[in-house]
Amino acid sequence: MAKKIFGWIYSLFIFCFLYVPIFVLMAMSFNESQYNALPFDHSLDHNGSFYFAVIEISRP
């Protein structure tokens, strides 16, 4: 029983170790501040965002 619980905890740790940095980078990519620090100013305005530039280029 203890091995099974340890296995689940170990798997959860590995999962968090691999995927939490990806989610943090995704959240911080919307940061409009000069520095990547918390709290960050996020916005979906059209003021030079990389994502909106890509959308505009890909439209026919």
Task: For 41-57, write each residue's pLDDT tens digit.
Answer: 666 665 556 777 777 77
Higher pLDDT, 11 or 36: 11
The distance from CA 26 to its chain's CA centroid, rounded to whole angstroms, is 2
Backbone angles phi, psi at 36, to 5 degrees: -85, 85
**Above 60 in pLDDT, residue 4?**
yes
**For the segment 29-43, what is each residue's pLDDT rounded down to a tens digit?**
777 777 777 776 666
Return the pLDDT at 48: 55
Helix, strand, coil abundance in the chain, percent, nearest 5: 60, 5, 35
